[in-house]
Amino acid sequence: MMICNYPGMKVKPGSMGKPFPGLTGAILDPKTYEPVEEEGSIGLIAFRPGWPAMMRTYWNNEEAYKEKFKNGWYITGDRSSIDKDGYYWFVGRDDDVINTGGHLVSPFEVESALLEHEAVAESAVVSKPDEINMEVVKAFITLNKGYEPNDDLELKIMNFIRKRLSPLAMPQEIEYVDSLPKTRSGKIMRRLLHAQEWGEEIGDVSTLEDD
Amino acid sequence: MDDMHKIVLDYVIEEYLEDEDEEITVDTPLISGGIVDSFSMVSLKRFLEKKYDLSIPDEDATPEAFDTVNSICNLVNEFIEKKKGK
């Protein structure tokens, strides 16, 4: 636990909180690995090495361990922004963030907004290849009881996201599914859906829940 | 103004116009005028395809063809004619 809401601190719902006292955290530019000072801009969550309980290596994989350090920072693999009060707002895992025509879209944010639509029970958002924008947003959803999957609903949900978030975040395609692939602990395996969209190897599925 | 022009214009006003007092006509530039951006075009195209039971290929859904209600209706009519011809 490195970023949290510790006692005495005002909780901002939806935010991760702040780095625990004693830790030096920052948001880094993904290209230069320099801290981003601009409030609200999205970057890599990083920490200055040397915190208590810091791991010393990856077992039998020193190389992979070393890869985690850039420009004197430990790169966590998560992305967020920081608000004016120093609170971190989670955006997604590094490899989840969708780059659509040069704009970064957080799948997590789109998924959360989708759940606010009355018809949507569960959602998973990934990128899909696009000739013009490199990547565009695609959503997989399961519907609540009483809703029928059809084009009319798809358009309604698309417009709902467009107005709630932005045109960039609007899924360019919505696929209705009966269920989403999940791990046994209940996390949605976005990676599988991503691989399916990009025609990639699905990889390790040993944590996939049994039917 | 025929039905199609009215339907499309109403849809644009309802879905895309942020300022309710702003008045637009069938000739108001939508894309180049900043009312509809290129990402939002996808949902507009989806609306037309559903409404008129068409499939408009991406290469025909250009920002120019979508720039005014007039040009949108021309494009839709073109595809309706094509469909009839088949």
The answer to whether residue A208 sits within a structural domain is no
CATH code, A166: 3.30.300.30
- A13: containing domain: 3-93
Model pLDDT, residue A148 = 94
Shortest Cα distance, chain B CAs vs residue A209, angstroms: 35
Q: Is the ipTM of this complex over 0.90?
A: no
The Cα–Cα gap between A109 and A90 comes to 9
**Which residue is closest to A155 within chain B, CA to CA?**
B43
Using the beta-carbon criterion (under 8 Å), do A155 and B46 form an inter-chain contact? yes
- Residues A34, A69 within the same domain: yes
3-state secondary structure of A114: helix
Q: For the segment B51-76, what is each residue's pLDDT rounded down to a tens digit? A: 999 999 988 999 999 999 999 999 99
Q: A188-209: b or e for each residue (b if 16 or more CB lie within 10 Å)?
A: bbbbbbbeebeeeeeeeeeeee
B47 touches chain A (CB under 8 A): yes
- Regarding whether A112 and A27 lie in a shared domain, the answer is no
Count of structural domains, chain A: 2
Length of chain B: 86
Q: Does B57 touch chain A (CB under 8 A)?
A: no
- Classify residue A24: in a domain, yes or no: yes
pLDDT at A211: 56
Classify residue A67 by burial, with Cβ atoms within 10 Å: 0-12, 13-18, 19+. exposed
A184 and A109 inside one domain: yes
Contact A158 B46 (CB under 8 A): yes
Which residues in chain A are contacts of B59 at CB distance < 8 A? none
Contacts of A104 in chain B (CB under 8 A): none
Could you tell me the CATH superfamily of domain B3-85? ACP-like (1.10.1200.10)
Residues A108, A194, single domain; the answer is: yes
Taking the C-alpha atoms of residue A14 and residue A88, their distance in angstroms, rounded to an integer, is 9
| Residue at A138 is within a domain | yes
A78 and A158 share one domain = no
Domain identity same for A60 and A122: no
Domain boundaries, chain B: 3-85
Instruction: Return the SS3 of B49.
Output: helix
For chain A, which residues score pLDDT lower than 50? none
